[in-house]
Structures are given as structure tokens and as C-alpha cells.
Amino acid sequence: MTSTEDSEAKHIVIAEPDRHQLQEIQRILSGNGITNLHTATDGAELRHLLKQFQEKFDHLGLLILNVALPDCPVVELCQSLASEDSDFRVPIIVLVDPKTADDAVAAELDSLRGCGVIRVERPLQPLQPPWFLPLIELALVLKQERDRTRIQQERTLTELAEHKILEARLKYLVLHDELTGVGNRRSLEQTLQLAIHHCQAYKQESALLYIDIDRFNVINDLEGHDTGDRLLVELVNLIRQTLSGKNIVARIGADEFCLFLPQADRERALQVAEAIRTAVNEFRFLTANDCYHISISIGITLLTPARHIHHPNELIAEAHQACFIAKTHGRNLVNLYDPKDMAATHFNDVRWVPKLREALKEGLFFLVFQPVVRLNDGLVSHYEVLLRMRDAEGQTYTPDVFIPVAERMGLIHSIDMWVIDHVIDFLATLPHDQAHLTLTVNLSGHAFHNSQLLPFLEDKLQTSWVSPKRLIFEITETAAIANFAQTRAMIAKLHALGCSFALDDFGTGFNSFEYLKNIPVDYIKIDGQFVQNLSDDATDRVLVRAMVEIAHTLGKKVIAEYVESTEVLQLLDRMGVDYVQGFLLGKPQTELLPCNIFPLDRLKSHENNPPLFHQ
């Protein structure tokens, strides 16, 4: 008999009252390389042995048991050890003397053959039966297979549990803000949609409050984002303590919240808003070095049967407008929505339009570049192109300030094409040693409706001699889903040109994985909310690992953005992320990095995240 390593590692218990027969079995087994043997001559010794294996039952490979073992109900023991519910599930060879065998006992033992109980006639001497050793080896193999099956079942159950946790987490994130635990914009819209129906069908009044923290960015800038996050959590708790009854709180912006008051009239809404404003005004926010006075501005809009509201966004916009007016009137105020105040928003848009047109005409837009580094070798494979605008006074604006205005006022297509034009010009001017670099261009959600964009891109590539393989177009998951058919069509056309495509902010939608199967992108960028706290949040690690595995299964490369610490970088490396991007590797700059290889080994060796290049 040739014993495998697994067979040698398994322990065999021999329970035989006949010491001569016991020695004969030991001799046969040890003579064939099986040395992990344990013996018992009665039921008490056997129970003691089995108790020792209770914590490490997978080490027990076989039990050889005499049916006549004193003080031992053999049939009951076999039924217990070989059952599906037993932790042992160990094969058992039962030695039966044919001269004294009980037919009923033999029949019961034979009924357990399917569970790994084998009845064998004894004695085994004077000669070793030719079938005995193969029977031992078969029993050990059976035990190994049972252990493998059990391990696989446990692994499957663990994977199912992790999948359920992931699914529950995604379902939670669909309707909740991760930081504060209150609802998000989607959950608010669902609540408002139901309220609109109740208002129309049952004449139920309600109110929506829009709450904006005054000068929140000051605390964020002075104390850091962690302190800012703590302030948000404390204010949410304070608002909840001030409220009574069933009210819905939702976070819809960095420092903006909405509060829905069901069955509330004008007087009730003003009363609740003033109570919240007063409570926050009396609140003092303590940090390590300072004590801050916090105030909020609140806008209110009413949902009444006399009004014709069709979509939740109408109510949110009205409450937002009322809040905006409260802030323009000095902050720390409550303001009720008035349709006449809509002129303020229109005035703001009208004021921005000349600025945007001037920026397009006078070249006040400019590009900055943030490196994207390949994790396996540190190659700066490409840069994400980000847009900035500088006004006549020299003040710089980020896209979140002027892009919404451009979208509302019909200037977004011109800005999209300006970006593409200047990105390709920039690629054309790069030296030969940077000819491998690729640039990622962010497209607005409106780009798919621009029939001129694709012909413009084709002409520009032909006249500039820039390879289309050096362009990666990027769109957010939200915009892609909102324009699903147009997204697929545009990606197909860009692929036909030779360009690549990336899906940004991946994971923010509940159906992210489902859409990923049907959107033929080349890259996915994991949303920063899952990456920033990766080293501290076990749930985020499960989510990111699942995103990486699924993306790789579908043949897509994975980019993780918002990488700000070496701990997060190392975790992403172990998870198999392909590319990383974030302030740890480089902030958006007007110039590219001075080298094409990023020294990741040096970065990982530092604990304080020192900058490797001057930025």
C-alpha cells in the first residue's frame, strides 16, 4: 500500500478488546507506513479518545471497531458518528465474529453502509487478508473526500453570506447616506413622489425643508474633512432630537439636507424650521483647539392640493431656491418659498453665461492633469484630464461651479468640444518618449445628444496624426444609465475609431453590476466613497474586492481613485486593482510628472505619505 501524505496525516483509532487481535491490526498498519494509531480496549477508553478529537475532528481518518467492545453500544455509536449531522462523519470498519454474530445487529450495520460503515468478519489472522489494506486506504480516501466536501460547503456558505452582506450593503447605500445614516436623494425622491400622489388623491398637505450649513467649508478647510464629517453627524443627531413624530431626513449634498414633514401646513413647517434653526444656533461644536458657533439657513416649500406638482425635483428645487434666498439675506434664517424669488436663480445663470462665453472665446479655460499609475510596475500609463476656468480677475473655478450652468444654458456642447480639441492638441505636442501616454477625457451626460461630436473627433484625429488609442473617454455611471441606449451606441462608435471607454463613479448605483455586463467599457473607476476609508471599513473592503473580481471576470481593467494613503494603496494592490489615482500619487497639475515611472516601492516604504515630486 502506498500511503498519500493526507493518509499519513490522518489518525486511526482501533477499539479492540482482544489484545492479540489489537496487536495484529497495529502490525499490519504500521508495517505499511500508517503510524498515527490510537487504541482502546473498552467503551470508556474509546469515549476518552473521541473526546480528544472533538476539537480537531478532521484529523481523525478512520475508526476500526469491534462489535463486541465492552461498555459500548456499537450500533448507536456508528449511527451517531456516521450521520450527516455529526461533526466527525468518520468512516467506521466494524469487526464482527461470524461465530457469535447477531443477525439483527449485522442488518443494522449493513444499513449504514451508505454512511461509511463497513462490516468485516474477524479474526484477521493468521494471514493478512488481501482485502484489508485496500479497505483501509478506501476508508481514508472516503474521509478525505468528505473533508473536502465539507470545506467546499463551508466556503460556499461563506461566499453566499458575503454576497448577502454585499447585496444588503448595496441596497442600503441605494437609499441611505453612508456617513450620517439618513436617507439620500433617491430615498427622498421616492418619499416625495408618494407624497405628491397622496396630496392629489387624498388632499394631504406636507412640507419640505432644505437645510444648508452656513460656511461649512471654513471648518472643513481649517480642521480637515474628518472634523467636517463629525460636524455633519452631530448636526444630524441634533436635528433628530429636535423633531417629533414621523419625519424623513435626507442628505442630498456635502452640507445640505432635506427634511420632509408629512401632514404639515405652513404654520407647522415654520414652527419646526425655527425650532431646528434655534437648536443649531445654540449648539457649540468643539474641536481640539477651538469652539465653533454653527448656523444654518432653511428654505421651505409647501405641497398643497391647490398646487400642480408632478415631480419630486420640483419641490427640491423650490426648497433649495428658498434656502438660497435665506443665505443671500444674511444666513441663519428661515425663508418660505416664493415663486417671485425664482428670478435670483435665473439671474445667477444669466450672470454666468457671459463668463462662459468669454472663457470659450478668450481661452480662459485650461486643462490640468492627474496621473494614473499602473500598480504592477509603477508606469504612469495615462492622465485624467480635468477642466478649470479662470475669470478676468484671475479667480479659478472647478467644473462643479460652472458645468451645471452650462448644461442649463445650452453651452455644454461647446465646452465638450473645446476639451476634446485641446486634449488632442496636447497629445500631438508631447515628445517621443511620452508617445505611450494616454489621456482620459470626461464627457458630460449631454455629449450623447451632440451629433457634431463624433465627426469633429474624427476630423481632429486625422489632421493631428494622433492615434485614437491614446484617448479614453469617461462618463459617470449615473449619466450612462440615464442615457443607456445612447451610451451603448456612442461607445460602439468610439470603439470603432480605436478609442477606449471608462465608466466613472462605479458602484454608486444598486444595479451597477447588471449594467456593467451590458455597457462595453474597457475600464471601470471605483467610486471614491468606497476607496477613501478602505483601511478602516471592512464593508468597503468586501465591496471593492467584489467589484474588482467581477470587473476582471468581465475582462475590464479597474482604476481606483481617491487614493490618499499608503495603507489604501497596499490594500488595493493585494486586491488586484490595475491602476490607482489620487493625491498620494499626484494632484491635478498643469504639467505632467517629470518621469514616466512612479517609484511605488519608495512610496509603500513610507508611513507618512511624503510627496515624491514637487506639486
Q: What is the pLDDT of residue 129?
A: 64
Reduce the DSSP state of residue 354 to 3 states and report it.
helix
More confident residue, 489 or 172: 489
> In CATH, what class is 347-605?
alpha beta
**Residue carrying C-alpha cell 400642480:** 308
pLDDT, tens digit, for every residue of 592-606?
Answer: 988 888 888 776 665
Per-residue confidence band for 133, with pLDDT thresholds at 50, 70 and 90:
confident
Reduce the DSSP state of residue 579 to 3 states and report it.
strand
> What percentage of the chain exceeds 70 in pLDDT?
91
CATH fold match for the domains 5-152 and 347-605:
no
Q: Is the per-residue pLDDT at 115 higher than 60?
A: yes
**Residue boundaries of the structural domains of the chain:** 5-152, 185-337, 347-605
DSSP H helical ranges for 442-559: 453-464, 477-482, 484-497, 512-518, 528-531, 538-553
pLDDT, tens digit, for every residue of 522-571?
Answer: 998 988 888 988 988 888 889 899 889 988 998 999 999 999 888 999 89
pLDDT, tens digit, for every residue of 426-450?
Answer: 999 988 888 888 999 988 877 777 7
CB neighbours of residue 441 within 10 Å: 24
**Amino acid letter for position 107:** A
3-state secondary structure 536-550: CCHHHHHHHHHHHHH
List all residues 6 or more positions away from 360 whose beta carbon is below 8 Å from its beta carbon.
411, 414, 415, 418
Across the range 482-499, mean pLDDT stands at: 83
List all residues 6 or more positions away from 292 whose beta carbon is below 8 Å from its beta carbon.
219, 284, 285, 286
Q: Is the per-residue pLDDT at 514 higher than 70?
A: no
Query: Could you confirm whether domain 185-337 is CATH 3.30.70.270?
Result: yes
CATH superfamily of this structure's domain 5-152: Response regulator (3.40.50.2300)
More confident residue, 77 or 283: 283
Asked if 499 and 469 touch (Cβ cutoff 8 Å), the reply is: yes
d(CA 509, CA 125): 72
Q: Is the per-residue pLDDT at 126 higher than 50?
A: no
What's the predicted TM-score (pTM) here?
A: 0.49
**Residue carrying C-alpha cell 493478512:** 128
DSSP, res 119: E
Asked if 93 and 15 touch (Cβ cutoff 8 Å), the reply is: no
Q: What is the pLDDT of residue 604?
A: 61
Range with the largest mean pLDDT of 28-37, 276-285, 495-504:
276-285
More confident residue, 432 or 9: 432
Q: Is the per-residue pLDDT at 484 higher than 80?
A: no
Across the range 10-25, mean pLDDT stands at: 87
* Range in 34-38, 120-124, 485-489, 536-540 with the lowest mean pLDDT: 120-124
Q: What is the pLDDT of residue 77?
A: 86
pLDDT, tens digit, for every residue of 364-400?
Answer: 999 999 999 999 888 888 999 999 999 878 889 988 8
* Range in 251-260, 451-460, 479-488 with the lowest mean pLDDT: 479-488
Per-residue confidence band for 6, with pLDDT thresholds at 50, 70 and 90:
very low
More confident residue, 151 or 124: 151
**Residue carrying C-alpha cell 416664493:** 338
Q: What is the pLDDT of residue 5?
A: 46
| DSSP E strand stretches across 56-205 | 60-66, 92-96, 117-121
Q: What is the pLDDT of residue 86?
A: 60
Q: What is the pLDDT of residue 150?
A: 75
* Range in 11-20, 481-490, 536-545, 591-600 with the lowest mean pLDDT: 481-490
**Residue carrying C-alpha cell 412640507:** 207
> Phi and psi for 204 in degrees, rounded to 5?
-90, 125
DSSP string, 53-109: TSTTGGGEEEEEEETT-TT--HHHHHHHHHSTT-S----EEEEE-TTT--HHHHHHH
Q: Is the per-residue pLDDT at 81 higher than 90?
A: no
pLDDT, tens digit, for every residue of 85-100?
Answer: 665 578 888 888 877 7
Asked if 361 and 354 touch (Cβ cutoff 8 Å), the reply is: no
Q: What is the pLDDT of residue 328?
A: 85
DSSP, res 508: S
The cell for 28 is 499490519
Across the range 236-242, mean pLDDT stands at: 95
